[in-house]
Structures are given as structure tokens and as C-alpha cells.
Amino acid sequence: MRKKIIAGNWKMNKNLIETGALLSDLKSKVGNVQAAEIIVAPTFTNLHKATEELKGADITVAAQNMHQAENGAYTGEISADMLKSIDINTVILGHSERRAYFGETDELLAQKVDTALKHNMTVIFCFGEELQDRKSNNHFSLVENQLKNGIFHVDPSAWKNIILAYEPVWAIGTGETASPEQAQEMHAFIRNAIGKAYNQEIADEVSILYGGSVKPNNAEEIFAKPDVDGGLIGGAALDAESFAAIANAI
Ligand code: 13P
């Protein structure tokens, strides 16, 4: 049975003090959610604090990015080994902000995916079309290409460590969310693409999250769709109350 997952991507928000406060709030508000796995992704400098703070709580801590190389002269970068050494076993890769502002391509992301999997990490792989792709009715082929070039090269056995997050760029931080029907349509397309590239069993098992302006007031109808297995939450994950409301909507 595939897992339901609610993940909070905190992006470049919350300093050390604010992180501690939000985590302690989250522990009491979502620490006992049984219906879904809860993941939070604070910024690099606060990951260690988060793992310490959440010891014993049923909340997974994830990184928002990592470098593809094992180590070396890559000023300012963070390796898989560094993350593993502070008990971080999950990493978000391919977020549209990394693609758009930091030039991350499908090819680069394929390397990052390989490095993360080699280190036995769980990858939350993000992808999704921009508004012009949807307007020109190019969104299905674009998404399929992002998957083909970024992640469909991995060994079938690696899929147990992969979570997909469909995040239409036009819905991120805009307040405009995909309709539940649009989300379902794309998620079904993605699952079908995995079935074609691999097999039906892998397609049925992989969790596909929706991301893009998920809020307490729209979460339930989106999560009710059969191919939506949870959400990757941005803005609404920065407040314990709204994140808990979204988690409880699953
Ligand atoms: P918002 O929920 O703020 O739209 O962000 C979604 C997102 O990018 C999560 O990774």
C-alpha cells in the first residue's frame, strides 16, 4: 500500500530560534497524526537542530537540496555524506525554484538523484510545468520529459526510496491552486507514465504529492482524489496551525 505523506518545504524561512519554536509547536500539533507520514524541510543551518528537537517524535526531517558530488572543491555546497552524518536521510531535489533560479537542469538532477540513492536516501523529486506550458497544452509532454530525463533512469529497486511531487509552477506561492480535477488528471498521467517506463506494481506503490498553494481550505478536496497521496506544502507549512489542519485533512 502506498503511503500518504504531508511534507513542509520551509524554503529560506525561519532562523534558528524560529525553527525551534515552530518545531515544538509542530510536535504537539502533528506529532500524533497517524494517517500520513509527516516530513519537514527546514534550511541547512537548522537541520541538526531539527533532528535533535524531533528525537522520538514521528516527524521526518528532510533537506531542501544537496550537491551531486561526494566531496571536493564546491564552495558553499552540501554533500549527501554531510546530511547523513546528522541523520538526514531524505532530500528534496528538483524544486522549481532550484530549476528556475539556480539553473538546475534535468541532467544535473539525474546526477543528484543517483548520488542520493547511492547513499540510501529517500528522494522527494519535484517537477511541474509553467503557465505557458499549460496554456499551450504542452504540460503533459513537459512533465513526462522531466521524469524521463531526471528520474526514469533509476533501477526499479530504487523506487521504494522515491517520492514524487508534482508542483505546477503557476500554482506555487500564487494562491492559485490546481483544481482537484487538474491535479488528479496529471497524477493519473504520471502514474501511467511510470507504469509504461517500469511496471504497474511500481506505479501503484509510488506516492505522488501535489504542491502549489495547498491551504487548510482546499487540502481536503485535493487529497480526496485517488492519485493524490498527499502534499508538499510551502507557505502554509510555516505556521503550525495551518500545517496541522492540512495534515489532518488527509
Ligand atoms: P506554496 O504552498 O507556498 O505554494 O509552495 C509550494 C511549494 O513550492 C512546496 O515545495
Residue 194 CA to ligand 1 center (angstroms) comes to 24
- 16-54 pLDDT, tens digit each: 999 999 999 999 999 888 899 999 999 999 999 999 999
CB-based contact 163:127 (threshold 8 Å): no
Cell numbers at 143, concatenated: 512533465
CB-based contact 243:233 (threshold 8 Å): yes
Q: What is 12-38 written as a DSSP string?
A: S---HHHHHHHHHHHHHHHTT--SSEE
**Which residues of the chain register pLDDT less than 50?**
none
Q: In whole angstroms, what is the distance from residue 46 CA to residue 30 CA? A: 19
Q: Is 64 in the pocket of ligand 1 (CB under 6 A)?
A: no
Residue 169 CA to ligand 1 center (angstroms) comes to 9
* pLDDT at res. 31: 83
* pLDDT at res. 38: 97
Q: In whole angstroms, what is the distance from residue 191 CA to residue 126 CA? A: 14
Give the contacts of 122 (CB within 8 A, at least 6 positions apart): 62, 89, 90, 91, 116, 161, 162, 163
Q: What is the best residue among 14, 91, 210, 232 to mutate for testing ligand 1's pocket, by most ligand atoms within 8 Å of CB? A: 232
